[in-house]
Structure 1
Amino acid sequence: MSSSSSPPPPPPPPATDILLSLALEVLDDILARLPVKEVVRTCCLSRAWASRWESVPGLAVRFDGWYSAAVVSSVLGRCTAPVGGFTIDVRPRLRPRAAYWLRTLADKRVRSLALAFDHSHGDDGVVLPGVGRALYACDELSGLDLHYCEVPRPPPRQGFAGFPRLTRLALSRVALPFAGAGALLERVIAAAPNLTDLSLKNVFAGIGEVEPWAIRAPKLRLLTLWMVIDNGGRVAEELPLLEEADVSVDCLLGSEEFLDTIWRVLGVKTLKLYVRDREFNENPTEGITWKFRNLRISTLSANFGKISSIMSIFSLLRCAPQIEQLHIEVDRKETLGDEIDEEILDAEMSDDLVKTLKCVSMTHIKGFPSEMCFVKLLLSKAASLESLEVRFFWENLHMSCEEACADFATYERASSTLAKFEVESLMETFDILSLF
């Protein structure tokens, strides 16, 4: 008797590509959010995906690490317009291709550029042939970040009118070595009516004598202004919408122009104020006569070896009646200098001066007597203090971290809300509250 065999099972239905079944705009949005390396890898999924990534509008192309110039050129050449953004660290071997990439990106209406030129070989600033013409042609930019390069004059026949779509402009160690460079910067900033984020770190404009130029950006919310030497740039008017300012203008210290700069940012909620000139022997905030009514968070540099530098902390506190967070970055190279004892600091730090402080941090301290006295007085007077963090520098310590912790544990504290008091040294962290 022969046994009847059952018919073979039907073949499985073809697999459905769930992603390709999504609406086109949804799929484009998903792919545009992925790192470019992962987006390009989707070409291996199936035949339908072989070139799907090329048609994603607004793709952010970011190259981190080591890539060949050929790979970068290939990806840019295959991207559809508009390109959302292009970010790359331009290493020396890639420099000859930078102008070509910018021309390609200009044709593809790139929206954001971030170029950091490698200067590990001691270059004074990378000069790239043809990069100026190509950069100025990217007239649809909403974001531009340049680091460590020279930007030449716009070609006279190009009719450069600025980047009217800019919302962010960040230049760091950038030189514009030609006459009229300051006027060009002024025009670029003023021609961007929606500029909200401006960062100028050691930008050198012009040749020979300083050319005055103005910063006019009424919608600005974030401002970073660093000047090692005077480049002629000034904040020309009050910035009514400004929320955060990071200011380091040692070249203007002690002048009315310095006070004018601080006056223009008086409405900020967050203020970073750095003095990097360790030889400056005056209190840079002494001339401030107004109040920062909105200021809640401030970071400033200090040298606890100089009484003038310590006084700048107290001067700032007097100008900020609502301040809640104070972050003090101690000069790493400070040494014992002026004779500063507890009596001097006590005369300046009243209970009322620190009554609003909730969070305080001090970084790079070395256990100097003035630093220890400051912590002692702060603990005894700041009734609303909730958090105190102290970080020791690893070099040239005057007192070991363990010795300092033993002293901290003996200090009286006025705050019943102090929930965090940590001391950090290298890889060790000590919870001082457990020692009280």
Structure 2
Amino acid sequence: MPPPRRSYRPHPVIEFSMAEADSMISLPTDVLDDILSRVGPRDAVRTSALSCAWRRRWEALAWLDLDFEDGLEHKRAVDSILLCCPGRVRLFRAFIDESSRIHDWLLVLSRRAIEILDISGSLTLPSSVFTCGRLTSLHLSYCAIPLLPRGFKGLPELRNLSLRRVDLLENGQYQLEEIIAIAISQLLEEPTLQHVDISGDFKKWMIQGPNLRDLHIHSANDYGWDLGDLPRLDSVVIDICESLRNRDFSKFLSSLASLTELRISTYHQPLNGDNILESLPCTFINLKSLTLLTHFCKLPSILSTFCFPRNAPSLESLKIQVVYGYGMGKKFEANGEFQNARFTDGMCANLQFVDMTGIRLFSNEMSFIEVILSKARLMHTLSISLSHVVELAISKEDGLKKLLNYKKASTDAEVIFEGCTVTRLFSPSEPGNA
């Protein structure tokens, strides 16, 4: 006679966890949706194992964020999630290789009204990437961008566009112009172009848009872009190694006159003997924050370091990032007398914060520090950080001794040297030590 069958009872701890999970399922729908959306797609699906009540709960989500930034080792999981969950997909972020089913995913994402698309990987994207017409943010990295499909209707809701280390086909600049231009998006505010490579010869093309506020361009080359009608442009970053060598630099700078924030490389040499960096064709009347990627070795870069602040009467913050390796060799000697002569009445009248990084304690650099301290009457903080990549011209101790003897125009100025506050500087009424 067989022994009587025992009824199965889960372990008390497991039983308690199951009861707790079932009590959570009674929470309001919007609360459950918020919980499942926050835990991420993998953990949302894993809630199916909690109890029968949870088995298909994740499939009822109104929207999902699919974030696979760590890679797509489980491609079938993406297929299952997109197939089972009929709701909207707000975000899709993934590193993808050539073997992925990206074309099929993009078609499904387009139907699910995808808003934020962030794709990186060594692949050539299919043209279906441009079928996602509800995008508000598009971020593409380390991939090749296809030609626009026929009948492309644009990305009318696009606000943020970021292209980083991507390849465009021959004449791709015109495609990029079309993506950025007013005809594609009336709402685009923040395009970032970082090392965008264009095949073949290129001609001038235009960056324009009625709502474009922030523009970031980082590149080893000038790919012929120009600035068109940008009525709301407020902040610009231009970091190009061979900066603007074959264009009308005066016209380019004039198009930036209304900015409040500017970051620009000035370590390049001017062309055709026209030292445009000694005098600018416009006044940056609204400019409050300026970052210069420069050095103090050659005359053009030294002049530009004075030129921009001289033409920015509202300037409050100046950051100088010293870049070595460009224009190095025999240095132009710009002593204190030479640099002091570059100052004009009213220059740096509102300057409060100066941050210098990567300096080597060259005499030209020290002379600039001495002059700026003696002229900026509203100076609040001058911060100095040394280069940790190349050798210093003098020791830190000798540099600090020089700094301690500089006069300052502002009695409130705090000087920070390598993270430490310098406690003894002289105001104009006090004599400095020899």
TM-score (norm 1): 0.82
- Distance verdict in 2 for CA 1:95–1:398, change over 3 Å: farther
Give 3-state SS (helix, strand or coil) of 1:144's partner: strand
Q: Which residue of 2 aligns with 1:28?
A: 33
Q: Which residue of 1 aligns with 2:412?
A: 417
Offset of residue 222 of structure 1: 0.9
The correspondence of residues 38-77 of structure 1 with structure 2, limited to 5 A, is 39-43=44-48, 45-70=50-75, 71-77=77-83
Conserved? CA contact 1:273–1:299, under 8 Å: yes
CA distance in 2: counterparts of 1:294 and 1:19, whole angstroms:
55
Say whether residues 1:224 and 2:230 are aligned partners.
Answer: no
2:159·2:189 contact (CA, 8 Å) conserved in 1? yes
Equivalences for residues 36-435 of structure 1 within 5 A: 36=41, 39-43=44-48, 45-70=50-75, 71-90=77-96, 92=97, 95-117=99-121, 126-128=122-124, 131-156=125-150, 159-179=151-171, 181-189=172-180, 190=182, 191-205=184-198, 207-237=199-229, 239-249=230-240, 251=242, 253=244, 256-275=247-266, 277=268, 285-286=277-278, 288-333=280-325, 335=328, 337-350=331-344, 352-394=346-388, 395-418=390-413, 420-424=414-418, 429-433=419-423
Label 1:292 to 1:27 Cα distance change in 2 as closer, same or farther (>3 A): farther
Give CA deviations for 1:122-164 in whole Å, capped at 9, x if unaligned.
Answer: xxxx443xx32221222221111111221122344xx222211
Cα contact 1:82–1:111 (8 A) shared by 2: no
The residue type paired with residue 433 of structure 1 is T
- Residues 178 and 48 of structure 1: CA distance in aligned 2, closer, same or farther (over 3 Å): farther
Compared CA separation, residues 291 and 53, structure 1 to 2 (3 A): farther
- Report the CA distance between 1:39 and its aligned residue: 4.3
C-alpha change, 1:35 and 1:323, in structure 2 (3 Å) is farther
In the TM superposition, residue 311 of structure 1 has moved relative to its aligned partner by 0.9
Quick one: structure 1 residues 96 and 278, their matched pair in 2 at CA, closer, same or farther if it must change by over 3 Å?
Answer: farther
- Tell me how large the CA RMSD over aligned residues is: 3.0
Q: Aligned partners of 1:89 and 1:319: how far apart in 2?
A: 45
> Shift of the alpha carbon at 1:33?
4.5
Report the CA distance between 1:276 and its aligned residue.
5.7
Alignment-mate amino acid for residue 140 of structure 1: R
Q: 1:309 to 1:34 in 2, by over 3 A?
A: farther
Deviation at 1:364, TM superposition (A): 0.6
Deviation at 1:309, TM superposition (A): 0.2
How far apart, in 1, do the equivalents of 2:364 and 2:43 lie? 54
- Structure 2: 5+ residue stretches without partners: 1-15, 427-434
Shift of 1:76: 4.5
Q: Secondary structure at the match of 1:140?
A: coil
Once residues 117 and 411 of structure 2 are traced to their aligned partners in structure 1, the CA distance between those partners, rounded to angstroms, is: 50
Does the Cα contact within 8 Å between 2:264 and 2:292 map onto a contact in 1?
Answer: yes
Q: Which segment drifts farther, 240-249 or 360-369?
A: 240-249
Cα distance change on mapping 1:303 and 1:278 into 2, 3 Å:
farther
SS for the counterpart of 2:370 is: helix
**1:257 positional shift:** 3.3
Q: How big is the shift at 1:337?
A: 1.2
SS in 2 for 1:293: coil
Distance (Å, rounded) in 1 between the aligned partners of 2:355 and 2:74: 45
Shift in Å, 1:50? 3.6
The 1:260–1:65 alpha-carbon spacing in structure 2 relative to 1, beyond 3 Å, is: same
CA drift of 1:391 comes to: 0.9
Q: Percent identity?
A: 30
- Deviation of 1:170 after TM superposition, in Å, equals 1.2
Question: Helix, strand or coil for the counterpart of 1:353?
Answer: coil
CA distance in 2, matches of 1:409, 1:152: 59
User: Aligned residue for 1:123?
Assistant: none
Aligned equivalents of 2:45, 2:250: Cα separation in 1: 52
Show structure 1 runs of 5+ residues with no match. 1-11, 118-125
